[in-house]
Chains A and B, each alone.
Chain A
Amino acid sequence: MIPMEHYLIVSTLMFFIGIYGFITRKNMIAMLISLELVINAVDINFIVFNRYLFPGQLEGMFFTLFSIAITAAETTVALAIIINVYRKIGNVNVGNINKMKN
């Protein structure tokens, strides 16, 4: 059986790659993808801890399913916003969205 640490390392890497991408990317779609990575890293953690530490229970599994559903909805909303932004200003660069700041 693959030790738990391996999963955790993978999820940690995914998490920080996601953070890195979120901070550095200017393209909003790339930022959205990075955000997905972060959430998926968390989902992996849920499953791994559930499987290895409390094998008789299912809360982690359910939480992950729940999380996936919410992520899907959130992605939909975010994409809708991005498309609207694109229609307004012609690009999806996060630095150019400053209409509501002033």
Chain B
Amino acid sequence: MEYSLLILITPFVLFLLLGLTGHKMKPNVAGIIGTTGMALAAILSYTIAFQYFFGVGKVDGVFQQIIPINFEWLRFTDNLHIDLGILLDPISVMMLVVITTVSLMVHLYSLAYMHGEKGFQRYYAFLSLFSFSMLGLVVATNIFQMYIFWELVGVSSYSLIGFYYTKPSAVAASKKAFIVTRFADLGFLVGILLLSFYTKTFDFATLTADNASLVVNSTAGASFLGLSVAAWATALIFMGGAGKSAMFPLHIWLPDAMEGPTPVSALIHAATMVVAGVYLVARLFPVYFFSAPEVLTMIAYIGVFTALFAAVIAITQTDIKRVLAFSTISQIALMMAALGVSGFGGHDGLGYMASMFHLFTHAFFKALLFLGAGSVIHAVHSNDMRDMGRLHKYMPISSITFFIACLAIAGIPPFSGFFSKDEILVAAFHHDKVIFYAILVSAGLTAFYMFRLYFNIFWGKEKTYTEHHKPHESPWLMTFPLVFLAILSCTTGLFDFSEFISPDKMPFATHIDWTIAGMAIAVAVIGITVATILYAKGSDKPAQMAKSLGRFYTATLNKFYLDEVWMFITQSVIFKMICEPIRWFDRNVIDGSMNGLAWVTQKSSSAIKGLQSGQVQFYAWVFVAGSIVIAILVLFCKV
């Protein structure tokens, strides 16, 4: 399966080609080249997935880790070396399929959506770079290679969020995204170093082999501040994942990242990059489970808290992309929570499987939601749902596909979200009732805010649209990805994921638990009904309710002032207390001593520069006088 390297090479070559020579091409040519390349990568990854899942991958009923390519890049000691390679196992193959599919759809969609934008070629170059780094991230054979691609993903996300670099808010958002995730990656790096210091390896296969016994044995006994070293290392690694996956309280960058072009939000901030954190935890799952179960519990609680928290905020937002952003945070948090409640081996591994399953289904319906929102924005030229209404009659395809995606995310059978969310609920039910009910509530909220969004855009009150700006259905290049993703949202739930993915790589059987599924459906239906009553006809009840909630509503609208809290912490605490004294020290002591040195040199040289007059006679005089003085000293002061 050496040809799997082509999946990485294709987008990278495209990036070089479009990045270096794109400005000489016609925009459409660049777009078509990029899309064709992505289609090639998608076909390759489908081939690999087919070959892996139905061919070479399974040996004696267990899925194997296949490493077709691995070469040593940097060697530190005999054991510790950084390799670059390709690791194929069920989750990485699944991710390859997800990334290339969504990326291909976004490439297609952007041909129409970004048409006529300045920097069209640059946009495609960065899309290719992003696809390259994300694919490299998922096939990484070792944690350091993952870290390298992790940062590459961050950079390409930065440049895509800041694509409209003339817009100050986009620049600020891209900086925020980069700085927040970079801050989290600091924890990731420290975690990697800590883990590799004890285990002497970066290799995923070695780390997770044999129930992570290497980690358990090598860190046994070592502890710091009452927590074991394994817990510290894994918690710090999780911090990196929490930054990328926008877990509370590091989620603040994701809503702002919506300043980027909408297809970028669909690709990066819904389907692929933000699940990197979930993927990271899943990749190291045996390490978490066997060496630091307390960290796994922490992940579960952070997950459910974030899920609820983001769902509440999503209810009040009026920018349609921000609603989707908070919904993404909430859904990814569910995946994290599912990992947190998962066990290991056999049916206990349900949470792990459910997390990956939800990742898979969520990627498609959330990409669909974002692309649908992009289609609406394209038609209305506004992000605000208050400028929209009754769009169903203008753009039926967008409306119907959006409706399907809403049903999928709300968890209505037989759409995909129902199956994956149901597995998460079952896993949580067997592990921790508190988490179970919290997830149930957030599922209800999800159904409510998604349908609030849907009704506000496509139904509700008719808005006055100016004659030459009448909303219209998008071109086929945009509706085709919508329809394709809608089909996927209907069908992906029917995969039996437990046949393919489990923590110990052995298939197990799952069945739908109808009591739990019934509760989930009931909650979703309640959410949808409430949304229908409040928003379908465009009544003024929501405004009254908002008024009666008073401060709670304002707090939610302002995202619980977390941005302000972070601002306060960075500005008032970190900048004032730490940076300001250090700055003073730097400016006054370090710069001061250097400036003083320069000042002394300058002054003394200007004082004595008159001595070098070029008058030979003066030199001779000084020379003779000096000689005489030395002679006198030698003669009379015998030392």
A residues near B (Cβ < 8 Å) are 19, 22-24, 31, 94-95, 98, 101
Contact = CB atoms under 8 A, between A and B. Distances in A.
A23 B614 contact: no
A23 B621 contact: yes
Contacts of A19: 620, 624
B613 to A, nearest CB: 9
Interface in B597-639: 614-617, 620-621, 624
Given A23-B620, A94-B617, 11 more contacts: A19-B620, A19-B624, A22-B617, A22-B620, A23-B617, A23-B621, A24-B617, A94-B615, A94-B616, A95-B615, A101-B614
Contact of A98 (B614, B617, B620, B621): B614
16 contacts: A19-B620, A19-B624, A22-B617, A22-B620, A23-B617, A23-B620, A23-B621, A23-B624, A24-B617, A31-B617, A94-B615, A94-B616, A94-B617, A95-B615, A98-B614, A101-B614
Contacts of A95: 615
B609 to A, nearest CB: 13
Determine the main DSSP class of A at the interface with B.
helix
B270 to A, nearest CB: 71
Contacts of A94: 615-617
A101 B612 CA distance: 11
A94 B619 CA distance: 13
A24 B621 CA distance: 9
A70 B433 CA distance: 110
Contacts of B615: 94-95
Determine the main DSSP class of B at the interface with A.
helix
Interface size class of B (residues with CB under 8 A): under 10
A101 B615 CA distance: 10
B296 to A, nearest CB: 80
A24 B615 CA distance: 12
Contacts of B620: 19, 22-23
Interface in B332-352: none
Contacts of A101: 614
Contacts of B616: 94
A28 to B, nearest CB: 10
B612 to A, nearest CB: 10
For A19, A94, A101, the residue with the greatest tally of chain B CB atoms inside 10 Å of its CB is A19
Nearest to A20: B624
Nearest to B621: A23
A19 B615 CA distance: 15
Contacts of B621: 23
Interface string B575-615: 00000000000000000000000000000000000000011
Nearest to B619: A23
Nearest to A16: B624
A80 to B, nearest CB: 18
A22 B616 CA distance: 9
A77 to B, nearest CB: 16
B638 to A, nearest CB: 22
Contacts of A24: 617
Interface string B323-367: 000000000000000000000000000000000000000000000
A22 B624 CA distance: 11
B259 to A, nearest CB: 60
A23 to B, nearest CB: 5
A23 B621 CA distance: 6
Contacts of B617: 22-24, 31, 94
Nearest to B617: A23
B136 to A, nearest CB: 63
Closest 6 CB pairs of A and B: A101-B614, A23-B621, A23-B617, A19-B624, A23-B620, A22-B620
Nearest to A19: B624
Contacts of B614: 98, 101
Nearest to B627: A19
Interface string B116-151: 000000000000000000000000000000000000
Interface in B175-209: none
Contacts of A31: 617
A24 B617 CA distance: 7
A101 to B, nearest CB: 5
B290 to A, nearest CB: 82
Contacts of A22: 617, 620
A22 B621 CA distance: 9
Contacts of B624: 19, 23
A95 B614 CA distance: 9
Contacts of A23: 617, 620-621, 624
B604 to A, nearest CB: 23
A31 B621 CA distance: 13
A48 B621 CA distance: 27
Nearest to B622: A23
A88 B365 CA distance: 93
A42 B617 CA distance: 20
A89 B616 CA distance: 19
B352 to A, nearest CB: 83
